[in-house]
Each structure stands twice: as C-alpha cells, then as structure tokens.
Amino acid sequence: MTTSIHALSGAYAVDALDDDERAGFEAHLPGCRDCQVEVAELRRAAAELAHDVAEEPPAALRASVLGAIATVRPLPPEAAPEPALEPTAATTPASNVVPIGRSRRRRLANLAVAAAILGVVGVGAVTQPWNPDPTSPSRNLSAADRVLSAPDAEAVTQRFPDGSSATVTRSVSEGRAVLSTKRMAAPPEGKAFEMWLRIDGRMAPAGLMTDGGDQTFVLTGDGGAATAVGITVEPESGSAAPTSAPIAYLEFEGTA
Amino acid sequence: MDDSGFPTSVPSSEGAGVAAVVSRSTAADQTGPPDLAELLRRCGRGDEQAFATLYDAMAARVFGLAKRVVRDPAQAEEVTQEAFLDIWRSSGRFDESQGHAVSWMLTVVHRKAVDRVRSAEASTRRDTTYHHENHATEHDSTAEAATASLEAHRVRQALAGLTQAQREALDLAYFKGYTHSEVATMLDLPLGTAKTRIRDGLIRLRDHLGVGQ
C-alpha cells in the first residue's frame, strides 16, 4: 500500500515507525517545514503522557551517570544551517538514530564535503555530462520540459543539510517524472546514484546518475503511476533492487 | 473498565515528574523550577554542575518512562544511563526554537527504550500482562503531591477527551513500543488506520493541553 508521508508524523513522534519507515520519514523531514513543526508539537503532547509514570531511579544511578559524563565531551554545536533547511533530525541527539539512519547520515556528510568542494570549483556550473549508458535516464530535455510545464505537474522537493536539493516533478497526463538536482555532490568513488520509482509498492529502477551538480532528467518508467521516488547509492553498474537506505525519498501527495 | 492502559479516573497521585522538579529546584535555592533549556545550554559548554541539576530535575521522568516501556528495572536503568549520556553529549545541539526541552529529552529516552524492546523482541515483555504501576516517590510532601496531582489531572482530563480507540492506539504505541502496523494488527484495524488514530489522538491531546506552537 502507499501512503502520504506526512501522515506518518504522529507515529514518528511516538517512535511507532519501523526502521524503513523511520528512515524514509527522516529523509523527508529536512525539506518539510510543516512536518517539522507538527512533529515537535506532537512530541510535546506525547511527553505530557509521561507525567503519570515518573519514578525515582535507584540513588546509585545518579553517581554512575554523573561519573560517566565526566569522561565525555559534549559535541560542538552544528554549523548554523540555513533556516529553511534546519532538519528536526539534526536537533535530536546524534546517537539517537537507528543504524540505518546513521549510515545514511554519514553518507550525507560525505556528500556535504563533496558538495563543499563543488561549491568552490563552481556552483551552478554547466550541465554535467550524462551517463552514456543507454538504459540511463533520457536526456531529452523537451520531454522534461513537457513534464515540467504540464498543467497537472506536481513537485516534491527535498533539501539536504549541505545545501543541495532534489526535486521530482511528475505529470500523470505525461506519464513521466523528472528529477532535478541542485548542487548535488557526486556519488562516492565506484558508486552511482540510482533512482527508483515506487509503483504498486515496489521499487522499479528508473536510471543511474553518475555525477553530481545541477542536473535534470526524465526518469525511466511510468512516472505517472509512481507514488514516490527514491534515490540510493548503488554500485556503478546499478542494482536491480535497492541495496541501501535511500539518501532521498520523495513521496507524491494525494497518492494515499 | 477502560482497558486502554491510560488512567481515566483519578488514581493516587504520588509520583509525577513535577514533584521532582519542584523539590530539586528548591534545593538549588531557586524560587521556581529550573530553566531546563538554560541548563542544557550550560551542559553544552561542559558545565557538569548544570548537568547534575538537570539530572535531579529529570531523572524521575526519564527513569519512569524508560521503565514503563522496557518493564525490566535493570534495563530501565541502562536506558536511563544511556539516555542521559546522549543528552549530555548532544546538549550543545539542543535548539529551543526547534522544540521544548522536556520533550527533547523524553524523545531521546523514549526512542532508546523502544529500540531496546524491539531488539529484545519476543522477550518476556510480550507475555507480561499490562498493569498500572503507581509508585510512591521518596519525597511526596503535601505541596508537591498537590502540584503533581494538578498537573496529572490536567493530562487525564485531556486524555478523557480522546476516543477510547485513540487512547488504545496511543497506549500501545507510546507505552508499549509497538509499531503502528503492529498496533493495527493487535486492534484488528485495516493497515494504515492505526497511524491515523495515533496522529489524531496526539493532535487532540496537543490542542487540549495547549502545547502547540
């Protein structure tokens, strides 16, 4: 089944998502101010539930905790993010993340470094060369233009802490989805970004992206039938099914 | 009898978090409860004394919530310790504009507790009959009990504004650590319905308690 990712806010606030859903929602959160606000409010409401359950811990625990923190240095504040990009996930403690999320964040951190380098070399520079692989997304810009200008075009954007962003625009009437990246870091050595269309609950390969930067391309497959688009890091030759947690997961609204 | 797990009538009112806050802040020679956000900021600069005050203010709520979810007191202690270490380590990243200090800390604890019970799936927790535990705290002076009672009463009133179905779903998710899919199965709901109940319940709670932004 498919679902609007916004509807997961309540379950996320009380940790009632499974690992995959949690990773998907945490990928969505940085780009969605509404969800950030709602999650903060609902967490606060949930915290009120804990009023009745307070119980003094054993006295010895105090000495144990205070002794333990003496050996740990608090993390420095994070570099001031742009306000619109401030992810709620980043305001929750670093170790308060499932392993899957942690690895994703580490990848994002790597991307951030790469993006920073890109930024020095030339942001918003020329279009990157396309993957010559014939199975890769079409570079037919007129098809992309048709989707982008379609009357029923709907767009979902996800922004990342490093300032890069990915936007998926799809048109049901055109039956296509278009991915546009801004300041995207290049994939790690020997890897590629693989795009996926979520159709009927399954992830169908929709093309490979071997470069970062600012790109626009039409995804392979029936973008009109897709409920979401995911991006994962895969071996350069691509995978038949995602082998890692998405670094981006963009869900179309109104597909619940 | 409401078997949702949430109290709907007034039980004995020992043991609410506010009591701990009030008593400890008095000990710290302050007139009001400590400013938790300020304490977190000081922790972020490595102020261990601020952390000790924070611990005293929050330990009962942290441990109580951990124990409610994981059940086992020894594991609850471990979760409490891990959570406080995390809070200390991440204190410099607490951003008041992004959330309330208490809920920020309880979010840390809750997730740790839930991750703990999920990784220990099929343990005794699932076989344990759910029951309320009202524990007396060691310092339930009349004034504290009155404050605690008032606060707890406010929450209970807000809970009474939820439908029974919403209370059930919230209880299974928040206090028992089940995923919304598991909650749906347990309550014989179509998949996808439980997450709506959880969200609707929280929204109603938020509106009753006036904790929106």
The interface pTM score, or ipTM, of the predicted complex is 0.75
Question: Which residues, listed in sequence order, are joined to residue A156 by a DSSP beta bridge?
Answer: A168
Task: Determine which of B55-59, B80-84, B118-122 has the lowest per-residue pLDDT on average.
Answer: B118-122
- Find out if CATH 3.40.50.720 is the number for domain B1-129+140-152: no
Among A111, A84, A108, residue whose Cα is nearest residue A97: A108
Report helix angle A33-49 to B142-160, nearest 10.
130
Pairing relation of β-strands A202-209 and A176-184?
unpaired
Contact criterion met (CB below 8 Å) for B70 and B113: yes
Sequence-distant (≥ 6) Cβ neighbours of residue B16 within 8 angstroms: A51, A52, A54, B148, B149, B151, B152
Tokens 């993010």: give the residue. Answer: A81
Among B200, B162, B173, B153, residue whose Cα is nearest residue B13: B153
Give the pLDDT band of residue B150 (cuts 50, 70, 90). low
The highest-confidence range among A195-204, B21-30, B174-183, by mean pLDDT, is B174-183
Of the candidates B18, B93, B159, the beta carbon closest to that of A75 is on B93
Which pLDDT score, from 0 to 100, does residue B129 have?
Answer: 36
User: A84 and chain B: CB distance < 8 Å anywhere?
Assistant: no
Nearest-angstrom CA–CA distance, B81 and B86: 9
CA B163 to chain CA centroid, Å, is 21
Nearest-angstrom CA–CA distance, A241 and A239: 5
Which of A55, A71, A78 best tests the B interface by mutation, with the highest count of B CBs <10 A? A55
User: B3 and chain A: CB distance < 8 Å anywhere?
Assistant: no
Q: Which structure tokens are listed for A174?
A: 């055109």
Q: What's the mean pLDDT in B185-202?
A: 93
Q: What is the DSSP letter of B174?
A: I
B190-193 own/partner pairs: CB under 8 Å, 24+ apart: B191/A1, B192/A1, B192/A3
Three-class secondary structure of residue A249 per DSSP = strand
Which pLDDT score, from 0 to 100, does residue A146 have?
Answer: 75
The highest-confidence range among B32-41, B48-57, B151-160, by mean pLDDT, is B48-57
Contact A68 B85 (CB under 8 A): yes
**Chain B residue closest in CA terms to A39:** B99
Among A225, A242, A237, A232, residue whose Cα is nearest residue A2: A225
Domain with residues B161-213, CATH architecture: Orthogonal Bundle (1.10)
Give the pLDDT band of residue B37 (cuts 50, 70, 90). very high
CA distances to A13, A188, A189, A190, A209 from A237, rounded to whole Å, are: 38, 13, 12, 9, 10
CA distances to A128, A213, A214 from A186, rounded to whole Å, are: 10, 7, 10
Tokens 């979760």: give the residue. Answer: B79
Residue-wise pLDDT tens digits, A64-81: 999 999 988 899 887 654
Sequence-distant (≥ 6) Cβ neighbours of residue A100 within 8 angstroms: A19, A20, A22, A23, A245
Residue-wise pLDDT tens digits, A112-156: 444 444 333 333 333 333 333 333 344 444 677 777 777 677 878
Which pLDDT score, from 0 to 100, does residue A38 have?
Answer: 94
User: A64 and chain B: CB distance < 8 Å anywhere?
Assistant: yes
- Please, what sign has the CA dihedral across residues A126, A128, A129, A130? negative
The segments of chain A whose pLDDT lies below 50 read 1-2, 81-108, 110-141, 256
> In this structure, how many other beta carbons lie within 10 angstroms of the beta carbon of residue A71?
7
User: B65 and chain A: CB distance < 8 Å anywhere?
Assistant: yes
CB contacts < 8 A, A to B, total 252
Over 80: is that where the pLDDT of B213 sits?
no
Q: Which structure tokens are listed for A132?
A: 């010559």
**Chain A residue closest in CA terms to B135:** A55
Which pLDDT score, from 0 to 100, does residue A79 have?
Answer: 62
CB burial of A98-115 (b: ≥16 within 10 Å; e: otherwise) equals bebbeebbebbeebbebb
How close is the nearest chain B Cα to the Cα of A58, in Å? 8
Nearest-angstrom CA–CA distance, B204 and B160: 10
Which pLDDT score, from 0 to 100, does residue B179 have?
Answer: 95
Three-class secondary structure of residue B25 per DSSP = helix
How close is the nearest chain A Cα to the Cα of B80, in Å? 9
The reply to whether B1-129+140-152 and B161-213 are identical in fold is no
Contact criterion met (CB below 8 Å) for A135 and A194: no
Which residues of B, range 120-159, sit inside 8 Å of A by Cβ? 133, 135, 137-138, 151-152, 155-156, 158-159
Instruction: Look at B152 and A247; give whichever has higher pLDDT.
Output: A247
User: B16 and chain A: CB distance < 8 Å anywhere?
Assistant: yes
Contact A55 B135 (CB under 8 A): yes
Which of A26, A48, A72 best tests the B interface by mutation, with the highest count of B CBs <10 A? A48
The dihedral region occupied by A247, where left means phi > 0, alpha psi between -120 and 50, and beta the remainder, is alpha
Helix (H) or strand (E) holding A203: strand A202-209
- Find out if CATH 1.10.10 is the number for domain A5-51+58-92: yes
Which residues of B, range 181-200, sit inside 8 Å of A by Cβ? 181, 183, 191-192, 194-196, 198-200
Q: Which structure tokens are listed for A34?
A: 């509404």
Three-class secondary structure of residue A137 per DSSP = coil
Domain boundaries, chain B: 1-129+140-152, 161-213
Domain boundaries, chain A: 5-51+58-92
Phi, psi of B168, rounded to the nearest 5 degrees: -60, -50
Which pLDDT score, from 0 to 100, does residue B119 have?
Answer: 84
Q: Which structure tokens are listed for B119?
A: 């990784």
